[in-house]
Structure 1
Amino acid sequence: MRYASLACDFDGTLASDGYVPDEVIAALTRVTASGRSLILVTGRRLDDLFRVFTHVNLFDYIVCENGAVLYKPSTKVTKMLATPPPKRFTEELVAQGITPEIGKVIISTWHPAETKVLETIEKLGLDLHISFNKGAVMILPPGVNKGTGLKEALSEMQLSPHNIVGVGDAENDLSFLSVSECSVAVGNALASVKEYADIIVKQDHGRGVIELIDRLLSDDLEDFGTQLKRRTLGLGNNPKGDSVTIPSHDFRILIAGPSQSGKSTMSMHLLKQLASAGYQYCVIDPEGEYDRAPKAVTIGNEHYVPEVDDVVRILSNPDHNAVVNLLGVSLSERAGFLARIFAAVQNLRRLTGRPHWIVIDEAHHMLHPYWDATFEPIWQEPGAVITITVDPNEIATKILESMDLVLAIGPDTRRTLESFGSKVAQPVPEVVAGSLGWGEAMAWFRHEFGSPVKVNIVSSPLEQQRHLRKYADGNLGNQRSFYFTGPFGHLNIRCQNLFFFMQVGEGVDDETWLYHLRRGDYSAWFRRVIGDELLAQETAKIEKMGNISVGESRAAVRRLIERRYTLPANLIA
């Protein structure tokens, strides 16, 4: 289920002249029977709504007074979301010959009284604003509108705006339509509302709402997916500088490339895009590389196997993302563990539409060609997934067949794409020759029948540098720290951040320094923990220099770090 809730305006949308026909009530009942919730969003006062509408109990929450008051019918609890204007304001309006209607927060009147209302606000020096609903003039504290009220209702219900359909007709509905993932205008809506809406139904008022509900319950508005242009995600830019976008829903990506080619860096960039747009994600992290994933809670470590119930509990809050660390799960048990996690997450998706994206790193450990086929029906259910692997040949064919986009990275993207095409029996169109730069990938949208195109996905290292610095002088914790152990494991010197690494690196014995240098431990730590791909690449070149001395290698690594990071004063001496 993508859309877990329907948010409706009242006057002009559900109702015509305050009356809601029985067939509209029946359609709303079908929505609740489908497992979806209903939210009423109205400018009316609660007592006025009760006077004309006897079916308020159909709704899980009612946002009334244009976003200033929240009411829960099941408990009859009313919550004021703003402070009402002072009494002297209404007294002054009456003195001006205006008879206002007074709610718990809202004060309303009718056109053409707005001129006198503005004069009164200025005269008294009040911080109030006016909202219009066709002929109605509504006075509220600043920052209060139907959109803010809907957000409060969604917070109470633990729902994401990305799983909401909103339908309205008038200018004061625009604020809550902008919050909704899919915005709908009924046939009688104002031109400005129709211009903004993703979908315009043909019928007016309640008949238009019935038309919408029929489509919602038929296919979850799947047929309208291409009309949601505002809800795409930016992938990057092509060589011409044009933006390349991907759908935000029910889209599957394979990121493939050899070890240390930047797959984790690329996936982390995509996670930042998701977090910034408010889409919830869940990362399956076999190697403990996503501790810095944005706005995420990590469950599990090398000593603790994550519990499925803990993952679901974290994801039950739409504001939280989850990283499921599998370091404590043995390699032989990871495929079965993934199946249990995926089943639980898909069940949550059926109920709430979340998490919006699932990311599976090192997928070849769990989705290999000999995977458990009983997992297939769950995998085929709708939902967006990012799968990451070193080689498509190491992934089950059924998994690869579900992919919409292949992002090939590394030195031989042609081979990676041809491996994928061979597995799914789909010839790869001609791949334009040329090396890939920092943060670039060959992107093959395999259902669009075009050639793979080079896409610059990740911003340059210099643009990321300011962001990276905040991780370089903090405490990375025991699990993410670098440890100088030496060739015989006699040492156990912990470096809790990059700057401490430099201090210790200057003082350890030559044998220990060379031991870690030849193993490639320094570049691996810079890549996986510090998250600095360019620093890792440059350090790897030093690690491969067979004739470099201990002193020269120490100095070279230090220069690389100093060039990219501002050091504390005690390290500059």
Structure 2
Amino acid sequence: MHISVIATDFDGTISQGDQLAPEAGRALRRWRESGRFAVLVSGRPFEFLHDLQKREQAFDLIVAENGAVLYNPQSDEMRLPFGEVPGAVLDMLTELGVPLWRGIAIAGTTTRYDDAVWVASRELGLPVHVEINRSEVMLLPPGVSKGAGLRNLFRSEGLSTRNLVAFGDAENDLSLLQAAEVKVAVATAVESLAKLADYVTPEKGPSGVAAFIERYLLAGEAFDFAVRGAHHFDLGAADEIKLNAHDLIDRNVLIAGGSGCSKSWLASHLADGLITGGYQLLALDPVGDLRSLRRHASCLCLGGEEIPPMSLIVQLLAETDLSLVLDLSQLPTPEEQMLYVIALLRRVMDVHRRLGKPHWLLMDEAQDLLGGPDNPVRLPLLQDPHSPGLCLVAWQPSRLNRALLNRIDGFLLTRHRLKREVECLRRLLADRSLDTSGLAERLGALGEGQALAWGLTASPAEALIPLRVRVGPRVFAQMYRLHQYLEDRVSPAQQFYFHNSAGQIAPAGNLGDLIDRMRTLDQDVINFHFKRRDFCRWIRDVLHDETLARWVDRLRTANLSGEALREALLEVFEQRHRVLERLI
């Protein structure tokens, strides 16, 4: 569960007279002992709340005086981001005989004197905000509310409201609950707050708060109520399947399929929905396929030409709500990518343990970043029981660590024909009690814009769900050249000549020729050129198609030979040909 911060009102919510109710205090201390945050948000004067915290030691942060005073007990730092109520207004009310209580930044009286308060604020024409809360009239600096103060405090502390559950009971708690991911009102709450809340506790005040914390937050019981403010989005599907960002952020998802079969597009679309919902993502992109996410004002794309220092990445994640896409394509070898990623993940996990973010990790080409029995990159992900949600994008899921695969909650599967990979997916789905009969045929028959999905929601279906998605336009580097080798042949000196002593095989001058020859080539000829990386070298140096060259080169890790190798090469050549044909 990504909820890691509790913010609660005091009076009527966790109070017993002027004291913290014992049951609420016990629950809050247990929550803090688990390494998570508790924030006290109250209209009471700062001095009262400061003394309460010194006695109880139940809170990490304090929002006092209805949001006007922000305080960090650990650093003993206090801020008044909205200023103070003008003294002239308070002096005039005193002269009129209005009994006032005064805080550091605000003041108040009873509703008996509300007319005098309105007259004084209007007559002097000074900036002051008047708010009614049950039997009190509060005078506040402009812009002050519990929600505004909490958001300001969260920005300075590096916290995210997407990790927040808030508790309240009165009118001035409306803005507090509006700021939260999960909104809880106690049984005695005013009607307007109860209507806003996702959940109203059966028990009154502190008993209700304590029961909610114990049951849902500490014991980890799944919510049996809807988080009504959650962001919903679809996958661009014709049947409009809706995803709930609040549910998805806690799930581990595997996106698997063959090369060029829209895996990275699907990953980008999931990321797009979560970023739009206000969540923070870190995407590790070994080949630069996720750069389209930079269209979001709240997403930065780093790397590419120069890999940024880890300290900058960690600072951005900790001190802002920005999502980051880290392009690792300029790290020259897979070994250097692996060393960089494991060091980065250790520091990212430390940020997540402290602040509850980033909320989701997206790893493209996961078989390269995480694959292999002795790959240490997986260790930071497996060692932390409270690691963020994870999305792995892989064409070769069989290379992923079994412990990681066992954590997968949801699947998005596109066209795949490699027998070993299909069998790996079949076992994973069977382990989750899904019917896998005919899976190889279903995966092999998937076309452009088609996928199979399962487990992307809190209540997964009993079978794989077919999806038809609207895949966005593709843009490739040097696209102005790529169409040439579909329609024209390169010069004879640049054509691909096959190793054949009889000299009976015509050379290939474009991708279409290569596909035609591949269907009838002797297996020994295919193996000869594949082992020497001749196909990859010709595609990269002559056809200038870096993407296809990468697809071919990574087939080496599949240990294919004979007809299986021919089929795999034909699959990637034909898939690339179909993609490029649509661009012409």
Same fold (TM over 0.5): yes
| Greater shift in the superposed pair: 314-323 or 372-381 | 372-381
1:389 aligned onto 2:394 = yes
Partner of 1:450: 463
Amino acid of the structure 2 residue aligned with 1:39: V
Amino acid of the structure 2 residue aligned with 1:243: K
After TM superposition, the structure 1 = structure 2 runs for residues 218-257 of structure 1, keeping only pairs within 5 Å, are 218-219=218-219, 221-224=220-223, 227-231=226-230, 233-236=232-235, 238-241=237-240, 243-245=242-244, 247-257=247-257
Shift of 1:516: 9.3
Amino acid of the structure 2 residue aligned with 1:408: L
Q: Distance in 1 between matches of 2:192 and 2:418?
A: 47
1:105 aligned counterpart, secondary structure: coil
**CA deviation profile, 1:544-569 (whole Å, cap 9, x unmatched):** 69xxxxxxxxxxx8xx8xxxxxxxxx
Q: Distance in 1 between matches of 2:163 and 2:54?
A: 27
CA distance 1:542–1:54, shift in 2 (3 Å): closer
Amino acid of the structure 2 residue aligned with 1:131: E
Partner of 2:108: 108
| Greater shift in the superposed pair: 86-95 or 150-159 | 86-95
Partner of 1:500: none
Partner of 1:156: 156
Partner of 1:350: 353
Give aligned-pair identity as a percent: 27
Kept after mapping to 1: 8 A contact 2:346/2:380: no
1:255 aligned counterpart, secondary structure: strand
Kept after mapping to 1: 8 A contact 2:234/2:241: no
Amino acid of the structure 1 residue aligned with 2:410: L
Q: Distance in 2 between matches of 1:6 and 1:171?
A: 19
Kept after mapping to 1: 8 A contact 2:331/2:337: no
Shift of 1:179: 1.8
Kept after mapping to 1: 8 A contact 2:234/2:240: no
Kept after mapping to 1: 8 A contact 2:9/2:169: yes
1:203 aligned counterpart, secondary structure: coil
After TM superposition, the structure 1 = structure 2 runs for residues 185-334 of structure 1, keeping only pairs within 5 Å, are 185-215=185-215, 218-219=218-219, 221-224=220-223, 227-231=226-230, 233-236=232-235, 238-241=237-240, 243-245=242-244, 247-291=247-291, 293-294=293-294, 295-298=298-301, 300-301=303-304, 304=307, 311-326=313-328, 327-328=330-331, 330-332=333-335, 334=337
Partner of 2:566: none
Q: Distance in 2 between matches of 1:242 and 1:424?
A: 21
CA distance 1:520–1:185, shift in 2 (3 Å): same
Partner of 1:427: 435
Kept after mapping to 1: 8 A contact 2:416/2:422: no
Kept after mapping to 1: 8 A contact 2:341/2:377: no
1:316 aligned counterpart, secondary structure: helix
After TM superposition, the structure 1 = structure 2 runs for residues 30-109 of structure 1, keeping only pairs within 5 Å, are 30-49=30-49, 55=55, 58-94=58-94, 98-109=98-109
Kept after mapping to 2: 8 A contact 1:257/1:413: no
What is the RMSD of the two structures over their aligned residues, measured on CA atoms? 4.5
Q: Distance in 2 between matches of 1:282 and 1:435?
A: 30
**CA deviation profile, 1:494-533 (whole Å, cap 9, x unmatched):** xxxxxxxxxxxxxxxxxxxxx99982649989xxxxxxxx
Q: Distance in 2 between matches of 1:114 and 1:433?
A: 73
**CA deviation profile, 1:6-32 (whole Å, cap 9, x unmatched):** 222111122133222455444443333
Shift of 1:35: 2.1
Q: Distance in 2 between matches of 1:338 and 1:70?
A: 37
Q: Distance in 1 between matches of 2:345 and 2:104?
A: 46
Shift of 1:2: 3.1
1:144 aligned onto 2:152 = no
Amino acid of the structure 2 residue aligned with 1:178: Q
Kept after mapping to 2: 8 A contact 1:410/1:436: yes
CA distance 1:340–1:373, shift in 2 (3 Å): closer
Kept after mapping to 2: 8 A contact 1:43/1:67: yes
Q: Distance in 2 between matches of 1:415 and 1:244?
A: 30
Shift of 1:215: 3.4
Q: Distance in 1 between matches of 2:287 and 2:408?
A: 23
1:195 aligned counterpart, secondary structure: helix
Amino acid of the structure 2 residue aligned with 1:351: R
Partner of 2:543: 519
Shift of 1:378: 3.6
Number of equivalenced pairs: 491
Q: Distance in 2 between matches of 1:350 and 1:442?
A: 34
| Greater shift in the superposed pair: 84-93 or 67-76 | 84-93
1:358 aligned counterpart, secondary structure: strand
1:99 aligned counterpart, secondary structure: coil
After TM superposition, the structure 1 = structure 2 runs for residues 164-183 of structure 1, keeping only pairs within 5 Å, are 164-183=164-183
Shift of 1:228: 3.0
Shift of 1:43: 0.6
After TM superposition, the structure 1 = structure 2 runs for residues 542-557 of structure 1, keeping only pairs within 5 Å, are none
Amino acid of the structure 2 residue aligned with 1:358: L
Q: Distance in 1 between matches of 2:336 and 2:53?
A: 56
Kept after mapping to 2: 8 A contact 1:66/1:146: yes
Amino acid of the structure 2 residue aligned with 1:45: P
After TM superposition, the structure 1 = structure 2 runs for residues 458-477 of structure 1, keeping only pairs within 5 Å, are none
Q: Distance in 2 between matches of 1:435 and 1:5?
A: 43
Q: Distance in 2 between matches of 1:428 and 1:169?
A: 50
Q: Distance in 2 between matches of 1:429 and 1:123?
A: 79
Q: Distance in 1 between matches of 2:93 and 2:46?
A: 22
CA distance 1:281–1:99, shift in 2 (3 Å): same
Kept after mapping to 2: 8 A contact 1:56/1:73: no
Shift of 1:307: 5.9
Q: Distance in 2 between matches of 1:39 and 1:482?
A: 53
Amino acid of the structure 1 residue aligned with 2:134: K
Amino acid of the structure 1 residue aligned with 2:462: F
Q: Distance in 2 between matches of 1:332 and 1:159?
A: 34
Structure 2 alignment gaps of length 5 or more = 485-489, 492-538, 550-573
Kept after mapping to 1: 8 A contact 2:198/2:225: no
Q: Distance in 1 between matches of 2:468 and 2:242?
A: 9
Q: Distance in 2 between matches of 1:96 and 1:172?
A: 26
Q: Distance in 1 between matches of 2:418 and 2:234?
A: 18
Amino acid of the structure 1 residue aligned with 2:326: V
Kept after mapping to 1: 8 A contact 2:63/2:71: yes
Kept after mapping to 1: 8 A contact 2:86/2:127: no
After TM superposition, the structure 1 = structure 2 runs for residues 128-139 of structure 1, keeping only pairs within 5 Å, are 128-139=128-139
Shift of 1:173: 1.2
Q: Distance in 1 between matches of 2:217 and 2:240?
A: 40
CA distance 1:432–1:400, shift in 2 (3 Å): closer
**CA deviation profile, 1:253-300 (whole Å, cap 9, x unmatched):** 222333333333332233232222221111111113344534345555
